[in-house]
Amino acid sequence: MIVSRSYEEFAEHRDRMEGSIGFVPTMGALHEGHLSLIRRAREENEHVIVSVFVNPTQFLEGEDLEKYPRREEADRKICELAGVDLLYMPTADQIYDEDELCIAAPKVRGYILEGARRPGHFDGMLQVVMKLLNLSRADRAYFGMKDAQQLVLIQRMVRHYFMKVEIVPCPIVRDPDGLALSSRNVYLSEEERRRALSISRSLKRAGKMIQGGEYEVSRIVEAMEGTLRPDVDELEYIAVVDRDFRPLERIVPGESIILVAAKVGSTRLIDNLWV
Ligand code: PAF
């Protein structure tokens, strides 16, 4: 595996690659969720590129940029064992210049739900993803469905900017107790982690109601609130949208996403169910 820190070195190695390329952009602190993306990229492509870059422009003032988990050595080992060919670990000055052209997230889809709680987050996320997709010139790029709004916005960017890469959505990976894997789970104390399980439980409950024929969003949301409220410290939202992030009043099977964002202690967690 080749590890590049500079853009020039990365570009040189990338240019030598022939055949299909699968790309997995990450912010590091790699876990099973990332590994599932890397494995899928490995299966479907001749070469696999991974980037590890904690992108400052997608963190808001007061968010956890400084304390975001960084585990470069472990990430490097994980990538090597997973059969990654090229690992890009740039510094911020390799990626950003001063006073540069910015990408703005769409005014509606980029500013509801996650975008409303974290205004500007998706601008920075799209900006770095555009850069990384251009750098890697991958045939396929792999993104987790846990960050559903991120995924849908990236799909829109690729469509709107006529980019040739195929965006491959990958299923959420959970711990055996149901907690969706996230690099931020390390912030949870044991007691908080136990309470955080109410998030996946509420989604499971919604799934069961839908299987039982309940499609009315208001009733599903009420039941989810009943599961969540006793355990989470702040329920930010429960939302039901279609696959293009338009709000729904009734579940449309095969076309709906149920989303939750909640704080447990000071940790903000998101999770969702595609139904
Ligand atoms: O999902 C993430 O880890 C990040 O938002 C991404 C896509 C790597 C961009 O920084």
DSSP string, 47-87: EEEEEE---GGGSPTTSSTTTS---HHHHHHHHHHTT-SEE
**pLDDT at residue 122 in the model:** 98
Top mutation candidate among 52, 58, 59, 125 for ligand 1, by most atoms within 8 Å of CB = 125
Every domain of the chain with CATH number 3.40.50.620 lies at 2-170
The CATH-assigned architecture of domain 2-170 is 3-Layer(aba) Sandwich (3.40)
Structure tokens at 212: 């039982």
Render pLDDT for 59-92 as a digit per residue (tens, 0 to 9): 999 999 999 999 999 999 999 999 999 999 999 9
Q: What share of the chain in percent tops pLDDT 70?
A: 100
Enzyme catalytic residues: 34
Within 8 A by CB and 6+ apart from 41, the residues are 22, 23, 24, 48, 140, 142
Render pLDDT for 114-152 as a digit per residue (tens, 0 to 9): 999 999 999 999 999 999 999 999 999 999 999 999 999
pLDDT grade, residue 170 (50/70/90)?
very high
Q: Which of 175, 213, 167, 205 is nearest to 41 (CA)?
A: 167
**DSSP letter, residue 180:** B
Q: Does domain 183-274 have CATH number 3.30.1300.10?
A: yes
125 lines ligand 1 (CB under 6 A): yes
d(CA 236, CA 205): 19
Every domain of the chain with CATH number 3.30.1300.10 lies at 183-274
* Mean of pLDDT values over 183-187: 95
Structure tokens at 174: 């959970």
pLDDT grade, residue 93 (50/70/90)?
very high
pLDDT grade, residue 174 (50/70/90)?
very high
Report CA(124)–ligand 1 centroid distance (Å): 10
129 lines ligand 1 (CB under 6 A): yes
Q: What share of the chain in percent tops pLDDT 90?
A: 100
Q: Are strands 234-242 and 256-264 parallel, antiparallel or unpaired?
A: antiparallel
**pLDDT at residue 43 in the model:** 98
* Minimum CA distance residue for ligand 1 atom 5: 125
* Minimum CA distance residue for ligand 1 atom 9: 125
Render pLDDT for 216-262 as a digit per residue (tens, 0 to 9): 999 999 999 999 999 999 999 999 999 999 999 999 999 999 999 99
**pLDDT at residue 224 in the model:** 98
